[in-house]
Amino acid sequence: MELTNTLTMKKEAFAPHEPGKVKMYTCGPTVYHFAHIGNLRSYLMEDVLEKFLRYEGYEVDRVMNITDVGHLSSDADTGEDKMLKGAKREHKTVMEIAQFYTDAFFSDCEKLNIRKPDTVVPATSRIEDFIEMVGKLLEKGYAYQAGGNVYFDTSKLEKYYVFGNQNSEDLAVGVRDSVDADDNKRNKTDFVLWFTKSKFDDQELKWESPWGLGYPGWHIECSAISVRELGEYLDIHCGGIDNAFPHHTNEIAQSEAYLGHPWCKYWFHVLHLVDAGGKMSKSRGEFLTVSLLEEKGYDPLVYRFFCLQSHYRKPLTFSFDTLDNAAQAYQKLVSRIAALSKDGEPDLESAQPFREKFSQALGNDLNTSLGITVLYDLLKSNLSDATKRWLIADFDQVLSLNLLEAADKSAPQAPALSDEETAEIEALLQKRAEARKNKDWPAADAIRDELAARHVVMKDTPNGVEWHIEK
């Protein structure tokens, strides 16, 4: 399998540290508000990656954090904690907000068939680990205390900018982010590991630490949770592209300084969902959620289908027109599948070339739209219906579009018969069999016509006549 690795900005052959086993970490949501469908694009494509790895036979251990403290309004170290902002907005406590939006997030994920990671860790449950990591960074000389906070000293690193696409332009962006320059920082790229002094004194959640009562910076949580749960060597770290800098850059700085060796092999970043106004974000007032799509009558899986039709390394433009196109295409696909007969056994040998094509498509940097083309190709092929259905179920382990379920639901149902009607049909069939035995062809034909008028479909089998009502 090949994946684009943001570390090198190249497509690279994927080889985990331990053959057959993948350790995968995902930056989870900041639970101060609903996830918008842009956030969910990232989680959806990460879900496809995880499922494809499993499809290919890897054992995947996946961990996600829940950011319920420390993520400030700006991705740099300025502004109010997003959680506190959410709590104030809704006149609730931070923990109430966290619980509500964590549940809302996983409910959205369920609607989009995004599998919940094996391990989900709220940041506030690991404060001791963060304190331990910050302590070790101080001990090793990678951190310093100033003005009541603990900072990471980026000048102590051989290389701070690790991602291939980062240059001094990015640095400018990072600095522009910090509206108020922090005079405590020795270098402008330094970042906070532990806060005790913030302009916002009403921070609700604070913990005792060797550096005073305070709270962790956002970046430390992902490093500490990942190292604790997945060990010193990580295979894949995922997130939306906006997380590459400063969040992931800082995670690498901390983790490698702490561990003393390279940490994560592959950085999987999903590009943004944009709309006519630009990048979708929660700060832009009204934003699109899964519930809003449902209110407008869309099946959430249509949004999944929409996302799978484009490549994760390209920005995706959202509009209701393009979503409508996806809805129509999904419905058509489901109808074609509904027309397949459920009878017979699949021929696994003739299925194999399609399975290989699907695997090649997804294995080529997760080309999901090509994977869907293979699905259309197999529907057009001369494979038996049973084999087609078998392959659709197989591909859907990765695509998770509920294709067979939706088809079976949309297939017209035979009308239910009362016991009395069933008995009448059985009696007619019996009479027809007797007429045929007596070679009374006119009587047999008359009964056949009557059965046809009642929409009875008959099939002669070695065990007698099988019948059902036409759909």
Residue 222 binds what, of ligand AMP, Zn ion, none (CB under 5 to 8 Å, by partner type)?
A: Zn ion
Number of other residues whose CB lies within 10 A of the CB of residue 200: 14
Using the minimum distance from each CB to ligand AMP, give the nearer residue, 31 or 451.
31
| Residue 353 CB contacts under 8 Å (≥ 6 apart), including other chains | none
- CA 148, 154, 159: angle at the middle one, nearest 5? 170
Nearest to 288 by CA among 309, 326, 319, 324: 319
With respect to ligand AMP, which residue has the nearer C-beta, 29 or 117?
29
Q: Which is nearer to Zn ion, 220 or 403 (CB)?
A: 220
Report residue 310 as tokens: 């484009």
User: Tokens standing for 227?
Assistant: 């190292």
Enumerate helices (H) and strands (E) in the chain, giving the number of each. 16, 16
- Applying CB under 5 A, among 27, 109, 366, 429 the residue interacting with Zn ion is 27
Nearer to Zn ion, 79 or 217 (CB): 217
Q: From Zn ion, ligand AMP, none, which one binds at residue 249 (CB under 5 to 8 Å depending on kind)?
A: none
CB 234 within 8 A of CB 126: no
Taking the least distance from each CB to ligand AMP, the nearer of 279 and 454 is 279
Note whether 307 binds ligand AMP by CB under 6 A. Answer: no
Q: Please say which residue, 47 or 153, places its beta carbon nearer to ligand AMP.
A: 47
The verdict on 204 binding ligand AMP (CB under 6 A) reads: no
Positions in 52-71 near ligand AMP (CB under 6 A) = 67
76, 121, 123, 222: residue in contact with Zn ion (rule CB under 5 A)? 222
The CB density around residue 103, as the number of other CB atoms within 10 Å, is 11
Residue 205: which of ligand AMP, Zn ion, none does it interact with, CB under 5 to 8 A by kind? none
Buried b (16+ CB within 10 A) or exposed e, 376-403: eebbeeebbebbbbbbbebbbebbbbbb
Minimum distance of ligand AMP from residue 316's CB (angstroms): 8
CB of 27 to Zn ion, least distance (A): 3
Which range touches Zn ion (CB under 5 A), out of 2-10, 25-33, 99-107, 123-131?
A: 25-33
Count of positions (residues) in the chain: 471
- Residue 38 interacts with ligand AMP (CB under 6 A): yes or no: yes
Query: 83, 69 in Cβ contact below 8 A?
Result: yes
CB 317 within 8 A of CB 306: no
Under the binding rule (CB under 6 A), the answer on residue 98 touching ligand AMP is no
Q: Contact with ligand AMP (CB under 6 A): which of 54, 92, 136, 279?
A: 279
Angle between helices 368-380 and 385-399 in degrees, nearest 10: 170
Which listed option, Zn ion, ligand AMP, none, makes contact with residue 84 (CB within 5 to 8 Å by class)? Answer: none
Residue ranges of the alpha helices (H) in 282-367? 290-295, 300-308, 320-338, 348-363
322 binds, among Zn ion, ligand AMP, none (CB under 5 to 8 A by kind): none
Q: 252 near 158, Cβ under 8 Å? A: no
Distance CA 394, CA 373 (A): 15
How many whole angstroms separate alpha carbon 440 and alpha carbon 193? 94
- Pair of tokens at residue 241: 């592209």
For ligand AMP, the binding residues in 237-266 under the rule CB under 6 A are 239-240, 242-243
Q: Is omega for the bond preceding 412 within 30 degrees of 0, making it cis?
A: no
The binder of ligand AMP chosen from 42, 124, 223, 387 (CB under 6 A) = 42
Cite the DSSP H helix spans in 178-319. Answer: 218-230, 249-259, 290-295, 300-308
Contact partner, 223, from Zn ion, ligand AMP, none, Cβ < 5-8 Å per class: none
In whole angstroms, how close is the CB of 33 to ligand AMP at the nearest point? 8
Among 7, 123, 273, 326, binds ligand AMP (CB under 6 A): 273
Cα of first residue to Cα of last residue in the chain, in angstroms, is 44
Stretch near ligand AMP under the rule CB under 6 A, chosen from 56-64, 96-104, 269-277, 377-385 = 269-277
- Could you list the residues that contact Zn ion (CB under 5 A)? 27, 222
- Could you list the residues that contact ligand AMP (CB under 6 A)? 27, 29-30, 38-39, 41-42, 67, 239-240, 242-243, 270, 272-273, 279-281
